[in-house]
Amino acid sequence: MSFRSGLSATTSVVLLLLIASLSFLPISALAAEPKLRFGSNGEFKILQVADMHFADGKSTPCLDVLPSQVKGCSDLNTSAFIHRMILAEKPNLIVFTGDNIYGSDATDAAKSLNAAFAPAIASNIPWAAVLGNHDQESTLSREGVMKHIVGLNNTLSQVNPPEAKSIDGFGNYNLEVGGVKGSSFENKSALNLYFLDSGDYSTVPSIPGYGWIKASQQFWFERTSSKLKVTSLTVIFNEKLLSILNFNEFIALQQAYVSKPQPQKGPAPGLAYFHIPLPEYARFDESNFIGVKMEKGISSASVNSGFFSTMVGAGDVKAVFTGHDHLNDFCGKLADIHLCYAGGFGYHAYGKAGWSRRARVVVATLEKLEEGGWGGIKSIRTWKRLDDQRLTTIDSQELWSS
Protein backbone atom coordinates (compact mmCIF):
# COMPACT_ATOMS: atom_id res chain seq x y z
CA MET A 1 0.00 0.00 0.00
CA SER A 2 1.36 3.45 -0.88
CA PHE A 3 0.40 6.82 0.52
CA ARG A 4 0.49 10.04 -1.50
CA SER A 5 2.88 12.72 -0.39
CA GLY A 6 -0.01 14.92 0.73
CA LEU A 7 -0.78 12.53 3.60
CA SER A 8 0.85 13.52 6.89
CA ALA A 9 2.92 11.04 8.89
CA THR A 10 0.48 11.25 11.82
CA THR A 11 -2.50 10.52 9.61
CA SER A 12 -0.67 7.59 8.03
CA VAL A 13 0.04 6.05 11.43
CA VAL A 14 -3.59 6.46 12.50
CA LEU A 15 -4.81 4.87 9.30
CA LEU A 16 -2.42 1.95 9.63
CA LEU A 17 -3.64 1.32 13.18
CA LEU A 18 -7.24 1.41 12.00
CA ILE A 19 -6.45 -0.99 9.16
CA ALA A 20 -4.68 -3.38 11.53
CA SER A 21 -7.67 -3.45 13.84
CA LEU A 22 -9.95 -4.41 10.96
CA SER A 23 -7.75 -6.95 9.21
CA PHE A 24 -9.34 -9.96 10.92
CA LEU A 25 -12.76 -9.29 9.36
CA PRO A 26 -13.89 -10.43 5.90
CA ILE A 27 -15.04 -7.71 3.52
CA SER A 28 -18.46 -9.32 3.19
CA ALA A 29 -19.03 -8.97 6.94
CA LEU A 30 -18.29 -5.25 6.75
CA ALA A 31 -20.62 -4.50 3.87
CA ALA A 32 -23.50 -6.88 4.60
CA GLU A 33 -26.99 -5.47 5.05
CA PRO A 34 -28.16 -5.79 8.66
CA LYS A 35 -30.45 -8.74 9.36
CA LEU A 36 -32.15 -6.67 12.03
CA ARG A 37 -33.32 -3.09 11.79
CA PHE A 38 -35.41 -0.51 13.60
CA GLY A 39 -39.10 -0.36 12.78
CA SER A 40 -40.79 2.47 10.91
CA ASN A 41 -41.76 3.93 14.32
CA GLY A 42 -38.08 4.40 15.19
CA GLU A 43 -38.10 1.65 17.83
CA PHE A 44 -36.38 -1.69 18.27
CA LYS A 45 -37.92 -3.90 20.94
CA ILE A 46 -36.33 -6.99 22.53
CA LEU A 47 -38.20 -9.58 24.57
CA GLN A 48 -35.91 -11.44 27.00
CA VAL A 49 -36.96 -14.93 28.09
CA ALA A 50 -34.81 -16.31 30.91
CA ASP A 51 -34.76 -19.83 32.32
CA MET A 52 -37.59 -21.63 30.54
CA HIS A 53 -36.35 -24.94 32.01
CA PHE A 54 -38.45 -26.75 29.42
CA ALA A 55 -38.51 -30.55 29.71
CA ASP A 56 -41.10 -32.94 28.22
CA GLY A 57 -44.04 -30.66 27.66
CA LYS A 58 -47.49 -31.55 28.98
CA SER A 59 -46.14 -34.28 31.27
CA THR A 60 -43.68 -31.94 33.00
CA PRO A 61 -45.12 -30.48 36.25
CA CYS A 62 -44.85 -26.90 37.39
CA LEU A 63 -42.71 -26.00 40.39
CA ASP A 64 -43.39 -23.52 43.17
CA VAL A 65 -46.92 -22.48 42.23
CA LEU A 66 -49.99 -22.00 44.38
CA PRO A 67 -52.00 -25.14 45.29
CA SER A 68 -54.83 -23.87 43.09
CA GLN A 69 -52.44 -23.71 40.11
CA VAL A 70 -50.92 -27.19 40.38
CA LYS A 71 -53.56 -29.16 38.49
CA GLY A 72 -52.90 -29.08 34.74
CA CYS A 73 -49.86 -26.82 35.09
CA SER A 74 -46.91 -27.89 32.92
CA ASP A 75 -44.32 -26.75 30.39
CA LEU A 76 -47.27 -25.71 28.24
CA ASN A 77 -47.84 -22.81 30.64
CA THR A 78 -44.36 -21.58 29.74
CA SER A 79 -45.21 -21.80 26.04
CA ALA A 80 -48.49 -19.97 26.61
CA PHE A 81 -46.66 -17.17 28.46
CA ILE A 82 -44.26 -16.69 25.53
CA HIS A 83 -47.19 -16.59 23.11
CA ARG A 84 -49.00 -13.98 25.24
CA MET A 85 -45.88 -11.82 25.49
CA ILE A 86 -45.32 -11.92 21.74
CA LEU A 87 -48.91 -10.81 21.08
CA ALA A 88 -48.77 -8.08 23.73
CA GLU A 89 -45.36 -6.58 22.96
CA LYS A 90 -44.80 -7.45 19.27
CA PRO A 91 -41.01 -7.50 19.70
CA ASN A 92 -38.50 -7.12 16.87
CA LEU A 93 -36.28 -9.78 18.47
CA ILE A 94 -36.73 -12.49 21.10
CA VAL A 95 -33.66 -13.37 23.19
CA PHE A 96 -33.46 -16.56 25.25
CA THR A 97 -30.78 -16.24 27.92
CA GLY A 98 -30.04 -19.84 28.84
CA ASP A 99 -31.39 -22.84 30.72
CA ASN A 100 -33.73 -23.08 27.78
CA ILE A 101 -34.27 -26.74 28.65
CA TYR A 102 -33.78 -28.46 31.97
CA GLY A 103 -31.57 -31.24 30.70
CA SER A 104 -31.86 -33.68 33.57
CA ASP A 105 -35.66 -33.85 33.10
CA ALA A 106 -35.66 -33.73 29.29
CA THR A 107 -35.97 -37.22 27.79
CA ASP A 108 -34.87 -36.09 24.32
CA ALA A 109 -32.89 -32.83 24.11
CA ALA A 110 -33.71 -32.17 20.45
CA LYS A 111 -37.46 -32.60 20.98
CA SER A 112 -37.38 -30.44 24.09
CA LEU A 113 -35.48 -27.69 22.27
CA ASN A 114 -37.94 -27.81 19.39
CA ALA A 115 -40.87 -27.46 21.76
CA ALA A 116 -39.24 -24.79 23.90
CA PHE A 117 -38.57 -22.49 20.95
CA ALA A 118 -41.78 -23.39 19.08
CA PRO A 119 -43.70 -20.19 20.01
CA ALA A 120 -40.84 -18.00 18.75
CA ILE A 121 -40.48 -20.04 15.57
CA ALA A 122 -44.22 -19.91 14.87
CA SER A 123 -44.27 -16.13 15.34
CA ASN A 124 -41.83 -15.59 12.44
CA ILE A 125 -40.02 -13.07 14.63
CA PRO A 126 -36.20 -13.32 14.61
CA TRP A 127 -34.81 -14.84 17.77
CA ALA A 128 -31.45 -15.55 19.36
CA ALA A 129 -30.32 -17.78 22.21
CA VAL A 130 -27.38 -18.44 24.50
CA LEU A 131 -26.77 -21.44 26.75
CA GLY A 132 -27.18 -21.77 30.50
CA ASN A 133 -25.77 -24.34 32.91
CA HIS A 134 -28.53 -26.96 32.42
CA ASP A 135 -29.00 -27.09 28.64
CA GLN A 136 -26.39 -29.81 28.06
CA GLU A 137 -27.57 -32.25 30.75
CA SER A 138 -29.81 -34.35 28.48
CA THR A 139 -28.99 -36.29 25.28
CA LEU A 140 -26.92 -33.60 23.51
CA SER A 141 -23.53 -32.13 24.39
CA ARG A 142 -23.17 -28.41 24.93
CA GLU A 143 -21.88 -28.01 21.39
CA GLY A 144 -24.65 -30.28 20.13
CA VAL A 145 -27.32 -28.15 21.80
CA MET A 146 -26.00 -24.98 20.22
CA LYS A 147 -25.71 -26.59 16.79
CA HIS A 148 -29.30 -27.80 17.07
CA ILE A 149 -30.47 -24.29 18.00
CA VAL A 150 -28.66 -22.77 15.03
CA GLY A 151 -30.47 -25.20 12.71
CA LEU A 152 -33.96 -24.09 13.79
CA ASN A 153 -36.11 -21.70 11.76
CA ASN A 154 -35.98 -17.92 12.17
CA THR A 155 -33.02 -17.95 14.53
CA LEU A 156 -30.03 -15.61 14.22
CA SER A 157 -28.03 -17.63 16.76
CA GLN A 158 -24.51 -18.69 15.87
CA VAL A 159 -22.35 -21.49 17.26
CA ASN A 160 -19.39 -19.11 17.32
CA PRO A 161 -18.08 -16.13 15.30
CA PRO A 162 -16.46 -17.21 12.00
CA GLU A 163 -13.56 -14.77 12.46
CA ALA A 164 -12.57 -16.27 15.83
CA LYS A 165 -10.18 -19.16 15.20
CA SER A 166 -10.18 -20.30 18.81
CA ILE A 167 -12.74 -19.28 21.41
CA ASP A 168 -14.13 -20.89 24.57
CA GLY A 169 -17.74 -22.00 24.74
CA PHE A 170 -20.54 -22.18 22.19
CA GLY A 171 -22.81 -19.29 21.30
CA ASN A 172 -20.50 -16.27 21.21
CA TYR A 173 -21.63 -13.85 18.50
CA ASN A 174 -22.85 -10.32 17.84
CA LEU A 175 -25.76 -8.90 15.89
CA GLU A 176 -25.93 -5.39 14.47
CA VAL A 177 -29.25 -3.56 14.25
CA GLY A 178 -29.58 -1.20 11.29
CA GLY A 179 -31.64 1.96 11.08
CA VAL A 180 -35.14 2.40 9.69
CA LYS A 181 -35.65 1.06 6.17
CA GLY A 182 -35.33 3.89 3.68
CA SER A 183 -33.69 6.26 6.17
CA SER A 184 -30.17 7.66 5.98
CA PHE A 185 -29.18 5.19 8.72
CA GLU A 186 -30.66 2.22 6.87
CA ASN A 187 -27.45 0.19 6.68
CA LYS A 188 -25.61 1.73 9.59
CA SER A 189 -25.22 -0.07 12.89
CA ALA A 190 -27.45 1.85 15.29
CA LEU A 191 -27.43 -0.79 18.06
CA ASN A 192 -25.02 -3.66 18.71
CA LEU A 193 -26.00 -6.83 20.53
CA TYR A 194 -23.38 -9.10 22.11
CA PHE A 195 -24.16 -12.71 23.04
CA LEU A 196 -21.74 -14.80 25.10
CA ASP A 197 -21.54 -18.26 26.57
CA SER A 198 -21.03 -17.76 30.31
CA GLY A 199 -20.37 -21.49 30.73
CA ASP A 200 -21.90 -24.08 33.01
CA TYR A 201 -19.59 -25.24 35.79
CA SER A 202 -15.94 -24.68 36.59
CA THR A 203 -13.57 -27.14 34.91
CA VAL A 204 -10.69 -26.14 37.21
CA PRO A 205 -10.49 -28.64 40.12
CA SER A 206 -9.30 -26.02 42.59
CA ILE A 207 -12.14 -23.59 41.70
CA PRO A 208 -15.64 -24.71 42.70
CA GLY A 209 -18.96 -23.43 41.41
CA TYR A 210 -20.20 -22.01 38.14
CA GLY A 211 -18.37 -21.16 34.94
CA TRP A 212 -17.31 -17.74 33.70
CA ILE A 213 -16.53 -15.77 30.56
CA LYS A 214 -12.99 -16.73 29.56
CA ALA A 215 -10.07 -14.66 28.25
CA SER A 216 -10.57 -15.83 24.64
CA GLN A 217 -14.18 -14.61 24.72
CA GLN A 218 -13.15 -11.27 26.18
CA PHE A 219 -10.51 -10.90 23.47
CA TRP A 220 -13.17 -11.53 20.81
CA PHE A 221 -15.50 -9.03 22.51
CA GLU A 222 -12.77 -6.36 22.64
CA ARG A 223 -11.88 -6.81 18.96
CA THR A 224 -15.52 -6.76 17.92
CA SER A 225 -16.22 -3.66 19.99
CA SER A 226 -13.11 -1.98 18.57
CA LYS A 227 -14.18 -2.78 15.02
CA LEU A 228 -17.61 -1.30 15.61
CA LYS A 229 -16.10 1.83 17.15
CA VAL A 230 -13.53 2.21 14.38
CA THR A 231 -16.32 2.31 11.83
CA SER A 232 -17.56 5.43 13.56
CA LEU A 233 -14.12 6.96 14.05
CA THR A 234 -13.46 6.84 10.31
CA VAL A 235 -15.84 9.78 9.98
CA ILE A 236 -12.78 12.01 10.48
CA PHE A 237 -11.53 10.98 7.05
CA ASN A 238 -13.37 12.25 3.99
CA GLU A 239 -14.29 10.19 0.94
CA LYS A 240 -11.38 11.48 -1.14
CA LEU A 241 -8.84 10.45 1.48
CA LEU A 242 -10.32 6.98 1.73
CA SER A 243 -10.11 6.54 -2.03
CA ILE A 244 -6.41 7.38 -1.87
CA LEU A 245 -5.88 4.32 0.32
CA ASN A 246 -7.42 1.96 -2.22
CA PHE A 247 -8.34 -0.29 0.68
CA ASN A 248 -11.52 -2.31 0.21
CA GLU A 249 -12.40 -2.73 3.87
CA PHE A 250 -12.25 1.01 4.47
CA ILE A 251 -14.34 1.74 1.40
CA ALA A 252 -16.96 -0.74 2.60
CA LEU A 253 -16.92 0.77 6.07
CA GLN A 254 -17.16 4.30 4.73
CA GLN A 255 -20.15 3.38 2.61
CA ALA A 256 -21.93 1.55 5.42
CA TYR A 257 -21.27 3.86 8.34
CA VAL A 258 -20.03 7.33 7.48
CA SER A 259 -21.38 8.14 4.03
CA LYS A 260 -23.89 10.82 3.28
CA PRO A 261 -26.62 11.83 3.79
CA GLN A 262 -26.32 11.17 7.54
CA PRO A 263 -22.83 10.31 8.90
CA GLN A 264 -22.77 8.27 12.09
CA LYS A 265 -21.50 10.58 14.84
CA GLY A 266 -20.20 8.02 17.33
CA PRO A 267 -20.08 4.38 18.34
CA ALA A 268 -23.45 2.68 18.51
CA PRO A 269 -24.62 1.68 22.01
CA GLY A 270 -24.26 -2.00 22.89
CA LEU A 271 -26.28 -4.50 24.96
CA ALA A 272 -24.87 -7.80 26.25
CA TYR A 273 -26.80 -11.02 26.88
CA PHE A 274 -25.59 -14.13 28.73
CA HIS A 275 -26.82 -16.51 31.44
CA ILE A 276 -24.73 -16.45 34.62
CA PRO A 277 -24.53 -13.06 36.39
CA LEU A 278 -21.20 -11.38 36.95
CA PRO A 279 -19.77 -11.05 40.50
CA GLU A 280 -20.46 -7.31 40.23
CA TYR A 281 -24.19 -8.03 40.56
CA ALA A 282 -23.48 -8.49 44.29
CA ARG A 283 -22.57 -4.80 44.58
CA PHE A 284 -26.23 -3.75 44.76
CA ASP A 285 -28.63 -3.44 47.66
CA GLU A 286 -32.18 -2.12 47.98
CA SER A 287 -30.94 1.47 47.82
CA ASN A 288 -29.45 1.36 44.34
CA PHE A 289 -31.58 -0.85 42.10
CA ILE A 290 -35.10 -1.16 40.73
CA GLY A 291 -36.81 -4.53 41.19
CA VAL A 292 -36.40 -7.25 43.79
CA LYS A 293 -33.51 -9.28 45.19
CA MET A 294 -34.90 -12.36 46.91
CA GLU A 295 -32.06 -14.85 46.42
CA LYS A 296 -29.75 -15.51 49.38
CA GLY A 297 -26.79 -14.50 47.24
CA ILE A 298 -25.68 -13.82 43.69
CA SER A 299 -24.96 -17.14 41.96
CA SER A 300 -21.99 -15.96 39.96
CA ALA A 301 -18.70 -17.73 39.43
CA SER A 302 -16.46 -17.94 42.48
CA VAL A 303 -13.74 -16.14 40.54
CA ASN A 304 -13.93 -12.78 38.80
CA SER A 305 -12.60 -13.14 35.27
CA GLY A 306 -12.67 -9.38 34.72
CA PHE A 307 -15.32 -9.20 32.03
CA PHE A 308 -17.10 -6.29 33.71
CA SER A 309 -13.86 -4.29 33.63
CA THR A 310 -13.42 -5.31 30.00
CA MET A 311 -16.85 -3.88 29.15
CA VAL A 312 -16.15 -0.69 31.08
CA GLY A 313 -12.92 -0.31 29.14
CA ALA A 314 -14.65 -0.87 25.81
CA GLY A 315 -17.15 1.86 26.63
CA ASP A 316 -19.99 0.91 24.29
CA VAL A 317 -22.03 -1.54 26.41
CA LYS A 318 -24.83 0.29 28.21
CA ALA A 319 -26.61 -2.68 29.82
CA VAL A 320 -26.14 -6.39 30.56
CA PHE A 321 -29.03 -8.87 30.79
CA THR A 322 -28.79 -12.26 32.51
CA GLY A 323 -30.95 -14.96 34.07
CA HIS A 324 -29.88 -17.87 36.33
CA ASP A 325 -31.14 -16.40 39.65
CA HIS A 326 -34.89 -16.79 39.19
CA LEU A 327 -35.99 -14.78 42.22
CA ASN A 328 -33.91 -11.74 41.31
CA ASP A 329 -35.31 -9.35 38.74
CA PHE A 330 -33.54 -6.11 39.65
CA CYS A 331 -31.64 -3.68 37.47
CA GLY A 332 -28.91 -1.44 38.88
CA LYS A 333 -26.22 0.85 37.50
CA LEU A 334 -22.52 0.41 38.15
CA ALA A 335 -19.76 2.37 36.37
CA ASP A 336 -22.26 3.58 33.73
CA ILE A 337 -23.41 0.04 32.89
CA HIS A 338 -26.78 -1.30 34.01
CA LEU A 339 -26.68 -4.88 35.28
CA CYS A 340 -30.13 -6.44 34.92
CA TYR A 341 -31.86 -9.71 35.68
CA ALA A 342 -34.94 -10.83 33.77
CA GLY A 343 -36.54 -12.83 36.58
CA GLY A 344 -37.71 -16.43 36.28
CA PHE A 345 -39.87 -17.19 33.25
CA GLY A 346 -40.39 -20.96 33.10
CA TYR A 347 -42.92 -22.95 35.10
CA HIS A 348 -40.62 -25.96 35.51
CA ALA A 349 -38.02 -23.69 37.07
CA TYR A 350 -37.79 -23.00 40.79
CA GLY A 351 -39.67 -19.88 41.85
CA LYS A 352 -41.90 -18.73 44.66
CA ALA A 353 -45.58 -19.60 45.00
CA GLY A 354 -47.64 -16.48 44.45
CA TRP A 355 -44.75 -14.61 42.80
CA SER A 356 -45.64 -14.35 39.13
CA ARG A 357 -43.33 -15.57 36.40
CA ARG A 358 -41.99 -12.62 34.43
CA ALA A 359 -40.23 -11.39 31.31
CA ARG A 360 -38.08 -8.34 30.58
CA VAL A 361 -38.61 -6.00 27.64
CA VAL A 362 -36.02 -3.53 26.32
CA VAL A 363 -36.79 -0.80 23.80
CA ALA A 364 -34.26 1.38 22.00
CA THR A 365 -35.72 4.54 20.43
CA LEU A 366 -34.10 6.59 17.67
CA GLU A 367 -33.84 10.36 17.60
CA LYS A 368 -36.42 12.03 15.38
CA LEU A 369 -34.68 14.55 13.12
CA GLU A 370 -36.14 17.95 12.27
CA GLU A 371 -36.32 17.10 8.57
CA GLY A 372 -38.48 14.08 9.39
CA GLY A 373 -35.86 11.34 9.27
CA TRP A 374 -34.26 9.24 11.99
CA GLY A 375 -30.88 9.70 13.65
CA GLY A 376 -28.96 7.62 16.20
CA ILE A 377 -30.38 6.15 19.39
CA LYS A 378 -31.99 8.68 21.71
CA SER A 379 -32.83 6.40 24.63
CA ILE A 380 -32.95 2.81 25.88
CA ARG A 381 -35.74 1.84 28.27
CA THR A 382 -36.83 -1.36 30.00
CA TRP A 383 -39.75 -2.83 31.94
CA LYS A 384 -41.02 -6.22 33.04
CA ARG A 385 -44.34 -8.00 32.48
CA LEU A 386 -45.94 -10.48 34.86
CA ASP A 387 -47.78 -13.62 33.79
CA ASP A 388 -51.05 -12.59 35.38
CA GLN A 389 -54.44 -11.90 33.85
CA ARG A 390 -53.41 -8.46 32.59
CA LEU A 391 -49.73 -9.13 31.84
CA THR A 392 -49.10 -6.33 34.33
CA THR A 393 -46.22 -3.97 33.49
CA ILE A 394 -43.85 -3.12 36.36
CA ASP A 395 -40.56 -1.32 37.05
CA SER A 396 -40.29 0.82 33.94
CA GLN A 397 -36.98 2.70 33.85
CA GLU A 398 -34.58 4.44 31.48
CA LEU A 399 -31.24 2.68 31.09
CA TRP A 400 -29.46 5.13 28.83
CA SER A 401 -29.98 8.42 27.03
CA SER A 402 -27.88 10.21 24.47
Look at residues 5, 8, 21 and name the one whose alpha carbon lies nearest to residue 247.
21
Residue 18 has pLDDT above 70, yes or no: no
Per-residue confidence (pLDDT) for residue 248, from 0 to 100 = 54
Percentage of the chain modeled with pLDDT above 90: 75
Q: How deeply is 133 buried, as exposed, middle or buried, from its count of CB atoms within 10 A (0-12, 13-18, 19+)? A: buried
Summarize pLDDT for 40-56 with one digit per residue, the tens: 999 999 999 999 999 99
Look at residues 109, 77, 112, 142 and name the one whose alpha carbon lies nearest to residue 275.
142
Confidence band of 387 (pLDDT split at 50, 70, 90): very high
Summary mean pLDDT of the chain = 87
Residue 246 has pLDDT above 50, yes or no: no
Per-residue confidence (pLDDT) for residue 298, from 0 to 100 = 96
Alpha helices in 279-365 (DSSP H): 307-314
Summarize pLDDT for 69-108 with one digit per residue, the tens: 999 999 999 999 999 999 999 999 999 999 999 999 999 9
Interatomic CA distance for residues 397 and 388, integer angstroms: 21
HEC string for 231-244: HHHHHHCCHHHHHH
Does 327 or 261 have the greater pLDDT score? 327
Per-residue confidence (pLDDT) for residue 1, from 0 to 100 = 41
Residue 30 has pLDDT above 80, yes or no: no
Among 31-35, 98-102, 121-125, 184-188, which stretch is predicted with the lowest mean pLDDT?
31-35
What domains, with CATH codes, occur in the chain? Answer: 43-231+267-401 (3.60.21.10)
Residue 6 has pLDDT above 70, yes or no: no
- Given the DSSP bridges, would you call strands 331-334 and 270-273 parallel, antiparallel or unpaired? unpaired
**What is the reported pTM?**
0.86
